[in-house]
Structure 1
C-alpha cells in the first residue's frame, strides 16, 4: 500500500477495519489538543423544513503528512442534514476531494467513488494507497469522509478513548481495570459530543449511504463506480440496495455483508483466517518442517499467557522510551488479528514465544502506546456497532461463537469479540436505537458486482464474499492467496482484476493472474 508501507490496523479494526474501541492505527504522537481534535461543533442552521443538500467548493484538508494527490484535487464540503428523519434539523459538513485521472480518457470515463473501512478511520489517509493501486489511472477518484470522520463538521473523534488505548498496553486485554477505564473514556466522549448537540443516532450506515447518493447528485455525475473495503463494503452494498440509481458497477474488498455483520460473526472470520495461514504454512515444506503443529502451539500460548501474563518494559517500534506492556492470551490473539506481526511472520513469532522469546509480540503490543490522538472517529464506530452489529445478540452469543471457533480456549479470551473488547457494556453507555432490522438485509439486483477477498484475512473471512454473492446474480468472487485485509493495495494481481472489471463490468473480469498464485514463503528462524 503506497507511500507508506501498509499501515497496521491495530486493536480497533474488527469487522475489517470494521473498527471500534481498541488501539487505533499507530502514528506520530499528536500535537492536537482534545478540543481541536474533535473539531468545532457543527454549524447550527435554521433552514426550512428540509435542509438543502449542496456541494460547497473549498480548500483541501491538510494532513500532518502531506498527500501529493491532493495538490491537483478539487475539494470542498457536502452539506447534508444530520438526521434526514427530522425535517428542520441542522446541517453537517462532509469533506470531499475529487482527484483527477492521471491519464484522462476521451471521452471521460465514469469516476470511481471510494468508501473507506472502519467505520471511523481517516478516509483521506487512504488516498496514497488508492492512487498507488491505480484507482485514478484513467478516471477521476472521488473521496468523501463518512459523517463524523476527521475533517468533517462535526468530527466524532474520542481523544479520551485514544488516551485509554495508549494506557491499555500496560493492562490485561480483558482485565476488569481495562474495562472500567474504557467505559469511563467512552462515557466522557459521549457526554462531550452530546453536549455539543451531536445526534449520535444519526451516525449510521443508512445515513452514510444517503450521503453518497446526495454527493453524486450534488456533483452532477450521471453514473459512477463504487469501490469499498471492509466496513466500506458493508456501506457499498447498503448503498447499492438503497440507492441503485446512477450506479454503473460496485467492487467490494474484504467483504462484510450487511446481513451477517454482527459481533459473534467476528469469531468465524478470525478462525478462518488463522486456519488459512496455518494451512499455507503446512503446504510449504520448509515451514511445515520448522513449525509442525501451529494450532497446538497457538492454543498452548493463549492458555499459558492467560493464566500467567507476561509484564515487560518494551520500546515501541522505531525507538522511544520503553513502556510497560502486558501480554496475555487476549492480547496475543488480537495482535494476530491486527497483523502485528505480519501473517508470514506469525509461525516464527509463535515458535519464538513458545521458546521464551516474546519480543515480536511484545513490541507489537508496545506500538499501541503511540496514538494519533483525535484522528479516529470512535463516535462513528460506536454508533454503527451499537445500532447495527450488537442488537439481537448478547455477551453469551459472542462466547458461544468463540467456543465454537476455538474449543478449549479460556472463556476470558473468548468472551470478547475480537478487536471489540467490552462492546456490550460500551453499547449500554452509548445508548443509540436498534437499527438491526433496517440494516441486516441482503443486497440483491442486476448491477455488476466484484467481490475480492484475501485468504489470510483474519478480520473479514474470505468465504463471506461467497455468501454475499448468493443474492447478486451478476457478481464475480475472487480470492487472492496469501493476502490479508484490504486486498487491492497489497496485490498487483487484484489491481489488474479490479481495473479489468471497471473497464467492462458487464463482461467477466480478467482473473488470469490469480491462477498459480501462492502465498509468499513464511519466515523461517534457525533451530
Structure 2
C-alpha cells in the first residue's frame, strides 16, 4: 500500500543507513460562475509553467475542507497538465500512491514511462489533499516512519499527529479526495476521462470509478489495493514471501532454503516486523533479491547460522526513514487516510479506542499459522499499519462504496514479487470485475509501470 515508485529515494536511504550502521554498501478556486459554464463550478487558477518543465502547466484547485460546510476552510491543491486539450484519446489522470505521495513532481517520470500513450492523451496529475505543497506535517511521526507502511510508530507520535490535526483529521478520507477529483474534472470541462493509479492510487481510482462510473472511459490499476479496504494485517504478503524467497534462491542457485531460514530467525530473534519491512521495501528496490549491494538471501542464511550482523544491518537500514520531508511523502496524511478508510478487526474508524487492542489480539489469534508462514502470527499485529491506527482517535470513516463492480474496461497489473500489494489482491479484484484484464509481470515487484513490461502493458491497453 505504498507508493508510485520510491525506488530512487528508498535505495539512497537504505544504502546510506546501512553504511552508517557499519556495513559496506551492499547490496483552482470556486467562483460565482464561469463564462459559458455552471454557476459555482470549480475553476483552475494561477496558471504558470511548472518548475523545471516549461511545457507543463501548473495551476491551483481550491476545494472545501469539509463538503458539508460545518467545518470552515479550504484547501489549495496543485495540479499539472501536459499536452493539448484536444488530444486524440482525451485526458489521462494519473494517481500516485501512499496515501501521502504528491502527484505533480512525478509528471516528468510518467512522460518517460508512457511516451507512446502520452502522444495520444493529455496527462493530468494532482497533489491530493494533505500532500505536496499542502502536506500534513507531523514531525515525530515523519521522523519515525517516513513513507513506510510496516515500520511501527510509537503511540505518542500517532496521538501527537492526531492532536495537531484536531477535528480536521475527519476530512482526509479517500471519499474527500474523490470529490476533489470530480471538481478537477469539472474545472477541466471534461465529460469523461481515463484513470491510471498505482498502489493507493488504485484504491482512489477504483473508488472514483465506483462513484462516477459514467465519467471513466478506461481504468488502469497497477499494484492493486483491495477496493473494500481489506488487507491491513498483510497475511497474503507474509505468506507470499516464502514463494518470493524460494524463487530468488532458485534463480541464484543459492543452495539453501531462505524461507526456512527466515522462519528460524524471526522465531529466535522476535524481529519479524523488521524483516518483513526489509522484504516489502525490497519488492520496490530489489524485487529479485539479487542486488549484490544487499545480498538479502545470504544475510538471512548467515543469521540462521548464528552470524546476525549482516541481517541486522539490513533491517536497520531499510527501516530508517532517512529524513524524508512531508512534502515528498506525508506520514500524517498516510495515517489520517489509512485509519479512516480501512476495514479493521475493531470495526471502522468511528470505533472507540478502548477495546481495539483486544479486538486486534483476537484477530491475530484467529490467523492460521500456515497463512503467514514463514512469519509468525504476531508479526501481523505488530507491523505498522495496525500499530498506527490503534491509538488514532475515533474519526469519520470512509462512506460506503456504491454496490456493484467496476463496469468499464479495466487493466490490472501485478508484479509477481510484490510484497506491498501482493498479486492475490489483484486476482481478487479481477474476479469481481466483468471487463477485467489481469497481467502479472514476472520478476517485477511493486509499481510495475516503473519498469518496461508493466509500462508496455499499460500503453497497449490505453491505446486500444
Aligned mates of 2:169, 2:104 — CA distance in 1: 23
**Match of 1:144?**
126
RMSD, matched Cα: 3.5
Q: Does 1:219 align with 2:176?
A: no
**SS where residue 95 of structure 1 aligns?**
strand
- Whether 2:164 is the aligned partner of 1:192: answer yes
Please give the TM-score of this superposition, normalised by the length of structure 2: 0.79
Q: 2:155 — aligned with what?
A: 183
Out of 306, 324, 337, the position equivalent to 2:280 is: 337
Counterpart of 1:7?
8
- In the TM superposition, residue 75 of structure 1 has moved relative to its aligned partner by 0.8
Q: Residues of 1 paired with 2:123 and 2:174: CA distance?
A: 22
Please, which runs of 5 or more residues in structure 2 have no aligned partner? Answer: 18-28, 34-38, 290-295, 347-358
Corresponding residue to 1:209 among 178, 194, 197: 178
Of 235, 256, 266, the residue aligned with 1:302 is 266
Question: Superposed, which structure 2 residues align to 1:87-486 within 5 Å?
Answer: 89-100=72-83, 108-134=88-114, 136-152=118-134, 155-165=135-145, 182-194=154-166, 199-264=168-233, 266-272=234-240, 274-281=241-248, 283-284=250-251, 286-287=252-253, 290-306=254-270, 328-339=271-282, 342-345=286-289, 346-355=296-305, 356=307, 358-359=309-310, 362-363=313-314, 365-366=316-317, 368=320, 370-375=322-327, 376-393=329-346, 394-396=359-361, 397-398=363-364, 400-401=366-367, 403-407=369-373, 409-410=375-376, 412-417=378-383, 419-420=384-385, 422-427=387-392, 429=393, 431-435=394-398, 438-439=400-401, 444-486=405-447
Judged with a 3 Å threshold, the aligned counterparts in structure 2 of structure 1 residues 461 and 8 are, in CA distance, closer, same or farther, namely: farther
Q: Distance in 2 between matches of 1:126 and 1:261?
A: 28
Question: 1:118: how far off?
Answer: 0.5
Task: Tell me if structure 2 keeps the 8 A contact 1:26–1:371.
Answer: no
TM-score relative to the length of structure 1: 0.70
- Contact kept, 8 Å, 1:335 with 1:361, in 2: the verdict is no
**Which of 226-235 and 347-356 deviates more?**
347-356
Q: Where do 5+ consecutive residues of structure 1 fail to align?
A: 11-23, 30-42, 63-67, 307-327, 505-527
**Equivalenced residues, count:** 417
String of CA shifts for 1:472-492, please: whole Å, max 9, x gaps.
2111011001111111112x1
Tell me, what secondary structure is at the counterpart of 2:106?
Answer: helix
Contact 2:265 2:304 survives alignment (8 Å) = yes
